[in-house]
Structure 1
């Protein structure tokens, strides 16, 4: 009798005074501190790192190029993940409860999906940009102009926002799973149950652009190897000034493609576990344990914090821009015309 009466008191609820509240399964105090530190650091890095990328590219005139505008727009998507998605997911992951209301849960999920696909589309267009730049570096400036870059940026934002809004605000994502969705989304919960059709569409929407990027970057590095061999074979011969210029341009574009290729690989590694887990979950009856799901989510979220780190490691101009911004020199009137490519 006493054991039965003590059972309800041992169960923690997200909202103790509300019927239908979700059961709370928090971590130990020590684990919570560690998780808040790790997740909070990722969120801050995503916000301030990407803010530095956007400020660098948009402020310094020397960095105004079609490729860099795409990178700045990609940084904006990652910045918004750090502002609108990661902090609230951090509380949900650690406390195992959603304290921000049902309406904001839908908005949060919509932002999560939209900014993920926006990043993916940006990376796909950057791959196309790099392919043209490496395979035909002299004609590239006339093919991939600022206006073309603007169209790519518009598509990268418009399609994901329309898609995520249409799916999550119409309720199409859980057609046929209404009972399961109602059971999972108790008061204090924010779990999205997506049916098999939409999960398959999501997976293909991730897989096909990724396949395109793999093909393009494979082609880029194949061409880069051929160019390197050609330059090596002609070093002993007298080169014309035009050939020398072409070699320098090709080398610069190959270096840029290598850095952005690392960014694409980081994106695929980060998002692949979540994409595969979502696909398996939908077709296997949602069997994934909560902690595995959270790990997959945060691997994907952390990608938004990784890009600025990659740029800092491989782009000397970004490191110099950071020094100028942090030191306050960016406030000078002449700073916009500063040469950020000089060491």
Structure 2
């Protein structure tokens, strides 16, 4: 009975029926698979939509052209690439296990994937550094952190991501087009060396998480110290309102810190624990990859939607009021 159910859910066909060397494809048509495809497609659409709102908001309104918002814009661009290109390609491969984009794209796609993911992580680090300077040195923040310096850091960050992607391409033998693991036409298997897997964990998980955790722990300590100072001053001025305001500010800072750390760690820890040689056809690799992709859906919610300016700008965009000012 199990074999019969399996045969009904998976229909064996050919990726390219008119090519003799074509791979056989597995068309997954079960109810569970259909629901999975719908869910992942909705995630991809929501990722693109939310990050587009962030990009349009910050790009259109000049009042939002601040260093912090430029970093959020960089993060939104990286997450947009994940939702616009990385997620759809993965959904395509999950539907019938065939690769329709050719052998060259099979080698280029993981590079594009790495650029978008590393750009997202680098933006998260810059946001943590920006908040660290703003909290620890608020009086000199405007002089130490400017729009020009922020743009330069963003360009350097994306350049580093591009450079690392090309290094990953040329030094990982199995990603070279001449050595791609394609046993038949319509197959794309990415085999990652153990050394590169460990290197990716160190560069894209251990180092960023260490920096973010250290910076936000310092931010939290400084925020608590500032809250105590404000509470002491406001207690003298008004015993009724002072403690309430300081406690709410401290709680808000702690909540934001907890969300940032929890989401980032929750998305990257499963991948970091997979220190074994795995391929892109592995179920473990697929699950862990999609958990990381979910981070691109959560970032606009954490770093943008919680800001009042984002809610106000979204109303302008959705109601098309921004076009009224242009006319």
Pairwise TM-score range, normalised by the shorter structure: 0.7 to 0.9
Structure 1 residues 198 and 56 mapped into 2: Cα distance closer, same or farther (>3 Å)?
same
- Give the RMSD, CA atoms, in angstroms: 3.3
The answer to whether the 8 A contact 1:70-1:153 is kept is yes
For 1:189, the equivalent position in structure 2 comes to: 187
For 2:266, the equivalent position in structure 1 comes to: 269
Structure 1 residues 180 and 26 mapped into 2: Cα distance closer, same or farther (>3 Å)?
farther
For each residue in 1:180-199, what CA deviation from the matched residue of structure 2 results, as whole angstroms up to 9, or x when unmatched? Answer: 963x6543222211112222
The answer to whether the 8 A contact 1:177-1:193 is kept is no
Helix, strand or coil at the partner of 2:101? coil
For 1:237, the equivalent position in structure 2 comes to: 236
Query: Quick check: 127-136 or 286-295, which moved more?
Result: 286-295
Q: Does 1:298 align with 2:290?
A: yes
Distance of 1:292 and 1:263 partners within structure 2: 25
For residue 272 of structure 1, report the CA deviation from its aligned partner: 2.5
For each residue in 1:83-105, what CA deviation from the matched residue of structure 2 results, as whole angstroms up to 9, or x when unmatched? Answer: 22111111102222211111122
For 1:200, the equivalent position in structure 2 comes to: 198
Distance of 1:314 and 1:112 partners within structure 2: 28
Distance of 1:125 and 1:257 partners within structure 2: 20
Structure 1 residues 269 and 83 mapped into 2: Cα distance closer, same or farther (>3 Å)?
same
For 2:61, the equivalent position in structure 1 comes to: 60
For residue 70 of structure 1, report the CA deviation from its aligned partner: 0.6
Structure 1 residues 289 and 202 mapped into 2: Cα distance closer, same or farther (>3 Å)?
same
The answer to whether the 8 A contact 2:190-2:280 is kept is no
Distance of 2:250 and 2:158 partners within structure 1: 26
For 2:211, the equivalent position in structure 1 comes to: 212
Helix, strand or coil at the partner of 1:25? strand
In the TM superposition, 1:141-160 aligns within 5 A as: 141-160=142-161
The answer to whether the 8 A contact 2:194-2:276 is kept is no
For 1:332, the equivalent position in structure 2 comes to: 324
For each residue in 1:272-323, what CA deviation from the matched residue of structure 2 results, as whole angstroms up to 9, or x when unmatched? Answer: 222332xx222xxx38983332111111112212222334652222111111
Distance of 2:251 and 2:122 partners within structure 1: 21
Residue-pair matches, total: 311
For 1:131, the equivalent position in structure 2 comes to: 132
Give the TM-score taking structure 1 as reference length: 0.80
Distance of 1:16 and 1:24 partners within structure 2: 10
Give the TM-score taking structure 2 as reference length: 0.84
For 1:225, the equivalent position in structure 2 comes to: 224
Structure 1 residues 213 and 161 mapped into 2: Cα distance closer, same or farther (>3 Å)?
same
Q: Does 1:281 align with 2:279?
A: no
Distance of 1:138 and 1:334 partners within structure 2: 37
In the TM superposition, 1:95-114 aligns within 5 A as: 95-114=96-115
Unaligned runs of 5+ in 2: 1-10
The answer to whether the 8 A contact 1:26-1:96 is kept is yes
Query: Quick check: 295-304 or 123-132, which moved more?
Result: 295-304
